[in-house]
Amino acid sequence: MSKVLLSIVKREELGLHGKYSYEEMNPTPELPIRTTEGAPYIKWFYLQNTSNAALINCTLGGPLFSLYLGALGLDAARIGMVVSLFPFMQVLALASGGLVERMGFRRAFVVFHGVRKFFVIALAAAPWVLTMWGPTVAFGFVAACVAVFGILRSLGETAIYPWMKEFIPDECRGRVQGTAVVWSAITTVLGMLLLSGLVHEGTKLGWRAATPFQLAFVVLPLLALCGVMGTSKLPGGHPPRRHKPLFLFFCGLKRALRDANFRRFLLGDAMIVGISALFVGLMPVYLLTVAAFDSAQILLLGIAQMAGAVFSGYFNGRAVDRLGSRPVLLRILVGFALLPALWLALPSLGGWRIPVAYLVYFLFGFVYNGAAIAVVRILYNGIVSQKRKTEYLAVRYAVSGALAGFFPLLGGLSVCWMDSLAKHGVCSYLPAFLGCMLASLIGVIVFRGIGVASTAR
């Protein structure tokens, strides 16, 4: 039996399946248009991406979700437990990638991303659960909804990322990703302004604190469901004509991890994920406790970040296609390294701290989204092949999720450890911010030495 399995693995590595190769048995679908100006079906991708961004940033993935949990009476520890469920669920991609590929990327994405919307709607019932059964049952109900949502999200995104390798043309990948960032940022800002207005007006009208969030948890998932249905217009994503044994998917994961160039990419990507996770996780608390900002001001700073994302999507999306991914990314990482100096200077700026904070958030939105666009182009155009896309992208998705959950915990521990030195005038956030600077410089070194195909340079 072992000889038979070794023979199958060997034939798989050589791309041999009887008389035909893997590519001949499972050809890449013919796309309607592959030009530098994009393709007519891309608008459906923009619709899905935009509606999904509005749903996540205005409900479970944004700061307003923490306010909703606070309105339900959950303490900080329980809120932290619920919010941390998201990134760690991405690790499931390592186990589910083979099944998703068998199911077909299109079908898997529509099913899993469609069903998960109903668990967001279910969260609107949390205040009634709290009233009828008390805080312990309400916490269990919220945690269960978020956990199932996270599992379905992981399965759906394990499908969409390899599928994007099929329907986004390599020659205009930067512009497509940049345009998606622009529309997502605009929609997120509009959604957050509308929801903030509902919260403000609801207070005047005597609504319960949770009522505006309940409206968002019902309306936004229904709108996002239309975006998911629109993905049926996208080409590709069909199940393979010949199913590979599932154990070959796990062999592919091992093969991906043996790829030294891919490991270097994961290290560089980890630096960017770490900087983002520390900024998103620690910066609001830093502004609240050290820089003397209030909650309303911190929420408005998110708009400055989205404005930076709009400019980044437009300019960097075109720059990576015109100049190459690596030159743009290296310049952005140098900018990343300079930002923590501004973060540390905020408390000492007096009346200037508010406009400088807006500048900091704008610059972060610009450099982070620019780095994300360049990294995705390097990955898709220069490292991941059509044949191995499921395994490579599952590894990247799982690793980035684990790190996104780990870095805020590490940053929080460093802040707690430094609190004992705060009485001597040392900022508790100094190690975390210096770590961001170091991560940026490591990213520059790593991405300078990474080998990519000519289409990604």
Q: How far apart are CA 199 and CA 70, in angstroms?
A: 14
- Tracing tokens 């070959």 back to the chain, one arrives at 248
Nearest CA among 376, 387, 25 for reference residue 168:
376
Tokens of 397: 């998705």
Instruction: Scan for tokens 């796309």, then name that residue.
Output: 31
| Predicted structure pTM score | 0.84
CB atoms within 10 A of CB 83: 18
Q: ∠154-138-155 over CA atoms, to 5°? A: 10
Sign of CA dihedral 290, 293, 299, 304: negative
**pLDDT tens for the chain, residues 1 to 457:** 444 444 544 444 444 333 333 333 344 444 444 443 446 788 889 989 998 888 888 888 776 777 777 777 777 667 767 777 777 888 888 888 888 888 899 999 999 999 999 999 998 888 888 888 988 888 889 889 988 998 999 999 999 999 998 888 888 888 999 999 999 999 888 887 887 777 666 666 655 656 777 788 888 888 888 888 888 888 888 888 777 777 778 888 888 889 889 999 999 999 998 888 888 777 777 887 777 777 667 777 888 888 999 999 999 999 998 888 889 999 999 988 888 888 888 888 877 888 888 898 999 999 999 999 999 999 998 898 888 888 999 999 999 888 887 887 777 777 777 766 666 566 777 888 888 889 899 999 999 888 765 455 5
pLDDT at 66: 72
In degrees and rounded to multiples of 5, residue 451 shows phi and psi of -95, 125
The set of residues, in sequence order, having a beta carbon less than 8 Å from that of 416 and lying 6+ positions away, is none
CA dihedral (435, 437, 438, 441) in degrees, to 10, reads 160
**Residue 179 CB neighbour total at 10 angstroms:** 21
Angstrom CA distances, 35 to 42, 208, 391, stand at: 12, 52, 27
How far is residue 398's CA from residue 430's CA, in Å, rounded to a whole number? 29
Question: Which pLDDT value is given to residue 22?
Answer: 35
Q: Are 126 and 210 in contact (CB under 8 A)?
A: yes
Superfamily of domain covering 245-457: MFS general substrate transporter like domains (1.20.1250.20)
The CB density around residue 28, as the number of other CB atoms within 10 Å, is: 11
Place of tokens 């899993």: 112
Tokens, residue 177: 């990703």
Query: In this structure, are residues 216 and 195 in contact, taking their beta carbons and an 8 Å threshold?
Result: yes
Non-local CB neighbours of 311 within 8 Å, separated by 6+ positions: 366
Task: Report the 10 Å Cβ neighbour count for 137.
Answer: 12
- Predicted local distance difference test score (pLDDT) of residue 310: 93
Is 382 in contact with 390 (CB distance < 8 Å)?
A: no
Query: CA end-to-end span of the chain, whole Å?
Result: 45
